[in-house]
Amino acid sequence: MSATPHRDPRGTASSRLEHRAARLVDRWRAAGVIDDATVQRILAWESQHGSADNSRFGRFAFGFGGLLLGAGVLLFVAANWQWLSPWGRFALLAATTLVLHAGGGITAARSPALATMLHAVGTAALGGGIFLAGQVFNLAEHWPAGFMLWAAGAAAALWLLRDWPQAVWLALLAPAWLTGEWLTSGLAGSQRPGTLMGGMFVLALAYAAAVTPAHGSAWRRAIALLGALVLVPVGVLLPFEPGLRPGIDAASGSLAVAAGALAIVPPLLVGVWLRGRAAWPLLLAAAFVLAIVRLDRGDQGQVILIHLLYAAGAAALVWWGAYERHRLRINLGVLGFALNVLAFYYGSVLDKLDRALGLIGLGMLFIVGGWLLEHARRRLVDRLAAHP
């Protein structure tokens, strides 16, 4: 007897949730994990406690509404800023943060998704309050301290709420604070952005690898997506920014070694915290970025070496994703390899051909190369799906 209930033709949110739960318990019953009595108890519980918060539309509505709410709060404060006294401004900002977090606490029992959104916007309002309060009371002498306080607030919210948006806030704000400290220190005078971007690359890769075979919670998946979004632009810009500024001797300057350590070691520690001993591939990533920022794009031989390093790195990322059965890393590796081939063609081949032949070659590269890469990517992803 199938456990699948009769589907409501009106397609209500509760009937969709019941049908989704029924499909899952049918699989578990067929595998012998649960019996028929357990199936009926699970379906009865889902019917009574199911919530439309878990639907994709609900998550989209709450997320988009949260963005609009945050923008509206900032616009309201900005529009009335000149009419408020300094203490009135401070009270308004503090009240906004408290009201948002209080609203999240009140709605947590009835609508967890709405509560998560309100708490996330509350943490965003905290940042606006910190910086605007610094402006009101003329405390903006050392602006990275604002990010430090904001990150501390996000860490406290994460500890109290255990929500994935707070983890994302902390993953963004802590590096922003350390980056600000870098830019306001003496390192910015002797180092080009390449060294700092190398650290960002390793950190983004550590975030993208936050999901492991043993740990796949919601906050890890959110951080992995954040890392993937940051990894691509940082990886594209990394070869264009060498580490040292002109006139600084890399061989004799201990400052370069210290700067490289400060940029690379904290991301490695984050990777160890996220993955433990399985973070060893990040050591290869650190060696990769240290090599990239020291190569000269003005030397054609070193340009070829840069492309070879990127091709090897993309292949290693695909292998890492396939080994740990993580689709995101496979997709990132394939995308990185495609961008590397395109950059090599545009920078080293296209200018040696006439315009028509160059465009023909570029078109064939997109068609044939894109088909081959997509075919290989789908085979890897399908293999993961076939052997869960």
Write out pLDDT tens, residues 271-290.
999 998 889 999 999 999 88
pLDDT at 244 (0 to 100):
44
Kindly state whether residues 288 and 323 are assigned to the same domain.
Answer: no
Asked if residue 53 belongs to a domain, the reply is no
**What's the pLDDT band for 3 if we cut at 50, 70, 90?**
very low
Kindly state whether residues 159 and 194 are assigned to the same domain.
Answer: no
Of 133, 156, 184, the one marking the end of a domain is 184
Q: Which residues of 289-325 are buried (b: 16+ CB within 10 A; e: fewer)?
A: bbebbbbeeeeeeebeebbebbeebbebbbebbbebb
Q: Tens digit of pLDDT for each residue in 235-270?
A: 888 887 655 444 444 444 566 677 778 888 999 999
pLDDT at 252 (0 to 100):
42
Asked if residue 159 belongs to a domain, the reply is yes
Kindly state whether residues 192 and 240 are assigned to the same domain.
Answer: yes
Query: Looking at beta carbons, which pairs linking 326-330 to residues 24 or more positions away fall under 8 Å?
Result: 326/209, 326/211, 326/224, 327/381, 327/384, 328/208, 328/211, 328/224, 328/225, 328/228, 329/208, 329/209, 330/377, 330/380, 330/381, 330/384
pLDDT at 190 (0 to 100):
61
Highest mean pLDDT among 164-173, 187-196, 211-220: 164-173
Kindly state whether residues 208 and 287 are assigned to the same domain.
Answer: yes
Kindly state whether residues 67 and 43 are assigned to the same domain.
Answer: no
Asked if residue 201 belongs to a domain, the reply is yes
Kindly state whether residues 242 and 272 are assigned to the same domain.
Answer: yes
pLDDT at 325 (0 to 100):
84
Q: Per-residue pLDDT averaged across 176-194, rounded?
A: 77
Higher pLDDT, 256 or 208: 208
pLDDT at 122 (0 to 100):
86
pLDDT at 220 (0 to 100):
92
Of 239, 260, 293, the one marking the end of a domain is 293
Kindly state whether residues 175 and 200 are assigned to the same domain.
Answer: no
Higher pLDDT, 10 or 77: 77
Kindly state whether residues 84 and 175 are assigned to the same domain.
Answer: yes
Asked if residue 3 belongs to a domain, the reply is no
Reading the block at residue 215, the tokens are 């740990």
Kindly state whether residues 234 and 178 are assigned to the same domain.
Answer: no
Asked if residue 2 belongs to a domain, the reply is no
Please say whether the beta carbons of 120 and 169 come within 8 A.
yes
Asked if residue 82 belongs to a domain, the reply is yes
Of 268, 293, 318, the one marking the end of a domain is 293
Bridge partners of residue 244, in order along the sequence: 191
pLDDT at 262 (0 to 100):
82
Asked if residue 308 belongs to a domain, the reply is yes
Provide the domain limits for residue 319.
295-388
Choose the weakest-confidence range: 14-28, 29-43, 180-194. 14-28
Kindly state whether residues 283 and 306 are assigned to the same domain.
Answer: no
Q: pTM for this structure?
A: 0.75
Q: Which residue has the tokens 């439309």?
A: 52
Kindly state whether residues 212 and 272 are assigned to the same domain.
Answer: yes
The total of structural domains in the chain comes to 4
Kindly state whether residues 69 and 171 are assigned to the same domain.
Answer: yes
Highest mean pLDDT among 124-128, 250-254, 313-317, 380-384: 313-317
- Average pLDDT in the chain: 77
Asked if residue 54 belongs to a domain, the reply is no
